[in-house]
Structure 1
């Protein structure tokens, strides 16, 4: 009997070591290796920039962030070495709420030492600094709110995840038709108006769509990339609604194979377990405040820091107290 327990103990310990080694190796290879060693991002000084946020309001925001149990993640949809889709996802485990802030890819973000064409746009940061650099740049844009993790996914990964869900239902109000025969492979998009259950390949086409081909009579988003962002947000909300109708931890564990992230598998499943039973009404889709403008012939999106501060204070549930104690204005849920 003693020999049995000795053998069992040795075998059990060996299994634990082997299992942990496998998990460690898996988590290591799930990390995004692009831009390693070049993740330091330094924003260049902006001309005519005015300080619009009082220091005390900034202190309140950063204090709220430091005391919060929120988990903040940047999701990057990659097109080659540029981030075509950028979303800040903040999960509040206490209230089981998710706030998603879409970051327009043309957001003006000048960096010291990077002066090439388009290098002063947010979607160029990944190419030069990788996912860790994007975390730093996004935190900078969001007034130093911490960005804890990143998730990157390319078109093939997005296709696989959508297929894992069994497709995503969307309503398309107008004809969408576009061709780019010079893309590799050639891109052909065609959706008739109506309700659709989009598989992985068609889902990615829907997410990429911006405008109709000339002469096709198809819709183009009137406000450009902001219109595409709204369509992407509706798609994401529909996908999440379908995901939570399944066993969310199982969906996350399956989808984990198709992304690159600094979230460990065990941690990802833990987050998904925490979010189980969440209501779709608790998913808020937002867009970074700002305005579209042209500069030197290029389209840019310029951040409105004052509105961004208000949005973030609202997200963190800031309560504004007035001189009259009976007149307390609560911002947020």
Structure 2
């Protein structure tokens, strides 16, 4: 091969390499653009999932004072102060998925589960206090979105607050019982909870006794079980197949389930599995209603990041002390002074 032919061959090879590199570059650029577009859509979609209620504006200043936050010497980009969050599981029948899981029509909803989550300063310890929905309380006057307000109700069932005045009245009623400021509000519906469990791959639980409840369609022998979302929801809602059929037995199962879910989340390597992380985030946000302080993906992520040091074994679960109501053996009232002392310990 002559020198001229060698130069021509080298030129053709260089041309092919240049075209190949250009193709790789264009492919990478296209992938980056597509990835950015998908990431942008995912963020928009998750943000769009979240519904919110402006509780602070609705309730104004007639509320317990916020906890005082002492600035730390080493400023942290994440919040570290104590926090109280009212977490409700609602039995809303809105939407086909919720109706299939809960039955009934779409006219209204109640707070099927109510928990006050208190995060200690530093956010490495937490106390979760369940409030029985059958507790008789004085329900305060609550503002209504349509204008006006509800009347004060004496000896009303606790979960009626949500039914008559939604999240705003639920928060106001809890604050009147506890004398604690609810810094945030989180509500998850039936389908949101079930989808979260499924996105995590199910949850492992150990039931302390046989459960045989035709109403929740849950039939489990005592012992370990791996539950999918529908079964976990049934476990959280069952009451007729355990104990005396009251709300108190169900609360014990709910608290067990909360701890098991925390263990499941901590053991699932979500950050190394983007697809599963997205499924979990989509499941959480699609069934979520928050106050306006947590109504964006960035705020929820900031809250989650501030809890990185919180382990499941440092979460204490208790129930507000109650006794049978003298007026109705199917209802309970706060046991004093034990209930008052419990709430005071969280200030």
What range describes the TM-score normalised by the shorter chain of this pair? 0.5 to 0.7
Greater helix content: 2
Structure 1 CA distance for aligned equivalents of residues 49 and 234 of structure 2: 28
Which residue of structure 2 aligns with residue 259 of structure 1?
A: 288
1:242 to 253, 260, 264: 264
CA contact (8 A) 1:38 1:130 kept: no
Gaps of 5+ in 1: 1-14, 42-61, 181-186, 213-219, 317-333
Aligned residues: 264
Using structure 1 for the length normalisation, give the TM-score. 0.68
Counterpart check, 1:150 vs 2:179: no
Counterpart check, 1:106 vs 2:134: yes
1:109 Cα deviation from its structure 2 partner: 2.0
CA contact (8 A) 2:89 2:114 kept: yes
Secondary structure (helix, strand or coil) at the match of 1:66 reads coil
Change (3 A) 1:303 1:119: closer
Using structure 2 for the length normalisation, give the TM-score. 0.65
Gaps of 5+ in 2: 1-35, 71-80, 93-108, 142-149, 272-276
298-307 vs 259-268, which deviates more? 298-307
Change (3 A) 1:210 1:27: same
Over alpha carbons, which structure has the higher Rg? 2
Which residue of structure 2 aligns with residue 56 of structure 1?
A: none
CA contact (8 A) 1:114 1:120 kept: no
* Alignment map for 1:199-238 (pairs within 5 Å): 199-212=228-241, 220-222=242-244, 224-238=246-260
* Alignment map for 1:30-109 (pairs within 5 Å): 30-32=50-52, 65-67=67-69, 69-80=81-92, 81-92=109-120, 94-109=122-137
Change (3 A) 1:204 1:223: closer
Which residue of structure 1 aligns with residue 33 of structure 2?
A: none
Counterpart check, 1:175 vs 2:210: yes
1:189 Cα deviation from its structure 2 partner: 1.8
CA contact (8 A) 2:84 2:183 kept: yes
Say what the alpha-carbon RMSD is for the aligned residues: 3.7
Change (3 A) 1:237 1:248: farther
Which residue of structure 2 aligns with residue 133 of structure 1?
A: 169
Structure 1 CA distance for aligned equivalents of residues 121 and 266 of structure 2: 15
Counterpart check, 1:188 vs 2:217: yes
Structure 2 CA distance for aligned equivalents of residues 123 and 77 of structure 1: 11
1:274 Cα deviation from its structure 2 partner: 1.6
Structure 1 CA distance for aligned equivalents of residues 90 and 335 of structure 2: 25
CA contact (8 A) 1:165 1:243 kept: yes
CA contact (8 A) 1:168 1:199 kept: yes
Counterpart check, 1:271 vs 2:303: yes
1:278 Cα deviation from its structure 2 partner: 2.5
Counterpart check, 1:197 vs 2:226: yes
1:301 Cα deviation from its structure 2 partner: 2.0
1:288 Cα deviation from its structure 2 partner: 1.1
